[in-house]
Structure 1
């Protein structure tokens, strides 16, 4: 059902491209700061992410529609163990990365003004996929001798916020974008970097937690008009 919902949102945004007279595309670098119950769950950590996006204007309105694809990492942890292969005392690196991928439809209201900057408000809605992967290596640069996905889940995600687009020179089609969004997801089973523990024999115990992401997400990006 969630995959179907994301597909419908994507088709809706693509369907508007044929009616567009103005568009923007670009890349954003984001820093998610936990808030509310989520902050109490995971503490004061920053969730960095990167996203690519495209927006198309509905003719004769200040409304832009489009989509965004983002990837982030909400924690990484490296441990060493000499109990990976029986009969050897060699120490191996175990790297565990907690990842998130999200796909959302975007609606932005951005009227034309007489000011240098272009203010806007926007909303996102779509789906998020979280997953934790581990890799075992002999050293930092060697090929993994073992890897796999340990915990994964899906949920809905929405974002609400606003910001400014600042042109780089008069009449330029390149903009710096500054914005802040509030991010909320449905509950998911996730791991953080503190949710894996090892005993004396090197056996790992994973303790997933069921929680929702609640983030204040400042962002800086570059947008190109087309």
Structure 2
């Protein structure tokens, strides 16, 4: 929690750094590909996420500072069981989702160029929160009979990378952004979709693993100057 509050304060400081500078904001769709020691832990799984960002350009420089907030889901699994409520033979759906939220400060270098596109490099640093939640329902559309967080952890995260911003109109106020980042976190306890098992009586055994998240993260987004 301390890490997250520190990064949140940094994000707010960036946001109010100036009230008269060019701003850049938008939405990004990301796909994390595990690499390094992380890949054997989770296998060939894609880590989809969505993020929103806001950046301000420092006057008369190519530097943009701001923050990015992202949410992702790194695996989901559904199990059916008749042993949820004693004395009933009804089958219940148990859905378990593995989630991550990250908040980072961003520094981007994006100079003006004579070309139509604008290349950039950037670095991010902040906090990440991973958590697994389960919900028990009678069927897909029913309200949950019970729900709760089973495994969670906090850590730091940094990202390094770059990309291109491609104008979508002559005024150059709306851009298609193509980006590739390398993502690294500190060690965290987490579950993936293979880490929950059930015995014949329907009792669940959770087997958290400890690892750092290491990913190559290509993304595509839409950004607006303001």
TM-score > 0.5 by shorter chain: yes
| Structure 1 residues 1-226: aligned runs within 5 Å | 1-18=2-19, 20-226=20-226
Contact 2:107/2:123 (<8 A) preserved: yes
Distance in 1 (alpha carbons) for counterparts of 2:181 and 2:86:
49
Tell me how far 1:11 sits from its aligned partner: 3.4
Instruction: Report the secondary structure of 2:116's partner residue.
Output: coil
Deviation track 1:55-99 (CA, whole Å, cap 9, x = no partner) reads 100001000001000000000000000000001110000000000
Runs of 4+ in structure 1 displaced over 4 angstroms?
A: none
Distance in 2 (alpha carbons) for counterparts of 1:24 and 1:4:
24
Deviation track 1:111-147 (CA, whole Å, cap 9, x = no partner) reads 0000000000000000000000000000000000010
Distance in 2 (alpha carbons) for counterparts of 1:200 and 1:86:
14
- Length, aligned pairs only: 225
Instruction: Report the secondary structure of 2:37's partner residue.
Output: helix
Distance in 2 (alpha carbons) for counterparts of 1:118 and 1:68:
20
Q: TM-score, normalised by structure 2?
A: 0.97
Distance in 2 (alpha carbons) for counterparts of 1:29 and 1:126:
19
Distance in 1 (alpha carbons) for counterparts of 2:69 and 2:12:
14
Distance in 2 (alpha carbons) for counterparts of 1:15 and 1:126:
18
Distance in 2 (alpha carbons) for counterparts of 1:7 and 1:67:
9
Instruction: Report the secondary structure of 2:121's partner residue.
Output: strand
Structure 1 residues without counterparts, runs of 5 or longer: none
Distance in 2 (alpha carbons) for counterparts of 1:133 and 1:102:
17
Distance in 1 (alpha carbons) for counterparts of 2:9 and 2:172:
34
Instruction: Report the secondary structure of 1:86's partner residue.
Output: coil
Distance in 2 (alpha carbons) for counterparts of 1:13 and 1:165:
22
Contact 1:9/1:126 (<8 A) preserved: no
Q: TM-score, normalised by structure 1?
A: 0.97
Q: CA RMSD for the aligned pairs?
A: 1.0
Deviation track 1:131-171 (CA, whole Å, cap 9, x = no partner) reads 00000000000000010000000000000000000001222
Tell me how far 1:14 sits from its aligned partner: 2.2
Contact 2:4/2:103 (<8 A) preserved: no
Structure 2 residues without counterparts, runs of 5 or longer: none
Contact 2:15/2:56 (<8 A) preserved: no
